[in-house]
Amino acid sequence: MNSKELGLDTLCIHAGELEDKQFKGAISPIYLSTSYEFIDEDPKRYPRNFDTPNQLAVAEKIAAIEHTDRALLFGSGMAALSTMFLAMLKPGDHLVVQNTVYGGTHNFLMKVLRRYNIDFTYTDGYSVADFENSLKPNTRLIHIETPSNPLLTITDIKGVADLAKSKGIITSIDNTFATPVNQIPADLGIDLIIHSATKYFGGHSDILAGAVAGPNHLMEDVWEIGRNLGGNLSDLTVWLLERSMKTLGLRVKKQNKNAQKIAEFLDAHADIKSVYYPGLKSHPEHDLAKHQMRGFGGMMSFELSDGIDPLKFQKSLKLIKASMSLAGIETTVTSPFLTSHALMTPEQRAGLGISDNLIRFSTGIEKAKDLMDDIEQAIKISKKESVLSTN
């Protein structure tokens, strides 16, 4: 089976699957042993070494859909990210980070990386020139995130990868929002791909997991640091992740479709000030997104007009849940100013373009019309005038 020739939906189901030799069952058996025969067996398996049968099976699936040599599974997206950073960087090295990275990544750099004499620079923006301007002679790694959270900016993946290659710099991307259904960064020249598998890979808001994928020569370092830090994913959760990943293509394609419909509905709505979704022609990087993505994803954000109370709006939704996390099969919304960006001052948020009226929207797989009806009724009852008239 040459995985390069198989479609993503086929790989999601079959790549890496274990054969049930004992009973001929249709799915991978689950092996929970933490102790394996050691005398002359090879590999000498131990869960923290990332080599239990189920870890290897799902890692192979992720490596196949991300078009990389190898992948490793972690207990969370942050375990994957922190292990990758610590594996790639040594004291004295310099890291360039996109200014709009995930809040947890920002926190890791400020609270952990800083202690180890590893220098880092946030870009001023997300154009290739912004990355180039942030380079230093000792830059070892460039880390990007596209589409970004919460404003869905698009970074030129190939542009950044080419820049890095010309200088011998390693690149990494947080591919959580797009998933390989929508973009395959390795095909555009990115070295390391990181996922919070808590999001679309898991897809049902019920598991915490992460992954790093990349070429063998870099993954060897990720493996070495990873088994020392010990942030593995338990095999029970690995097995749940395999179950989830079989429907990744199906889910994300429906989420893409729903998101496009809802973005267009919101864009035309009188009570919505602006919509941030790369699938809209009005999005500043729409052409770039079209060029490097196969679908525009399930994430978007929008700004309610001033006449609408953002908290009342969220409380008035009936199907859609106000929720901290994202990427489940159920549609959720959140206020960045109350959650991911709560620790910033209003001025800092304004600098990033994040107003108190901004709603981040994670599109699920429900019927799109039901979601639009829910938004419509919530807008109606959360108009500030109607609050006054009912008092």
Please report, as ranges, the residues that interact with ligand PLP according to CB under 6 A. Answer: 76-78, 102, 104, 149, 174, 176-177, 196, 198-199, 208, 210
Q: Which of residues 172 and 316 has its CB atom nearest to ligand PLP in the complex?
A: 172
Q: Which of residues 78 and 368 has its CB atom nearest to ligand PLP in the complex?
A: 78
Q: Which of residues 102 and 277 has its CB atom nearest to ligand PLP in the complex?
A: 102
Q: Whole-number minimum distance, CB 193 to ligand PLP, in Å? A: 12
Q: Whole-number minimum distance, CB 133 to ligand PLP, in Å? A: 24
Q: Whole-number minimum distance, CB 299 to ligand PLP, in Å? A: 9
Q: Whole-number minimum distance, CB 122 to ligand PLP, in Å? A: 16
| Sheet hosting strand 210-214, strand order edge to edge | 70-74, 210-214, 192-196, 170-174, 139-145, 94-97, 119-122
3-state helix, strand, coil in the chain (%, to 5): 40, 15, 45
Q: Which of residues 174 and 242 has its CB atom nearest to ligand PLP in the complex?
A: 174
Which single residue brings its beta carbon nearest to ligand PLP? 77
In Å, how far are 23, 50, 52, 61, 384 from 43, measured between CA atoms? 24, 11, 10, 20, 65
**Cα–Cα distance, 242 to 17 (Å, whole number):** 9
Q: Which of residues 210 and 214 has its CB atom nearest to ligand PLP in the complex?
A: 210
Q: Which of residues 272 and 329 has its CB atom nearest to ligand PLP in the complex?
A: 329
Give me the helices (H) in the chain, please.
8-14, 53-65, 77-88, 103-111, 128-133, 157-166, 179-182, 216-229, 235-245, 248-267, 286-292, 310-316, 346-352, 368-381, 384-390
Q: Pick from 159, 201, 199: which is nearest to 181 by CA?
A: 201
Q: Whole-number minimum distance, CB 176 to ligand PLP, in Å? A: 4
Residue 301: strand pairing partners:
276, 360
Q: Whole-number minimum distance, CB 73 to ligand PLP, in Å? A: 12
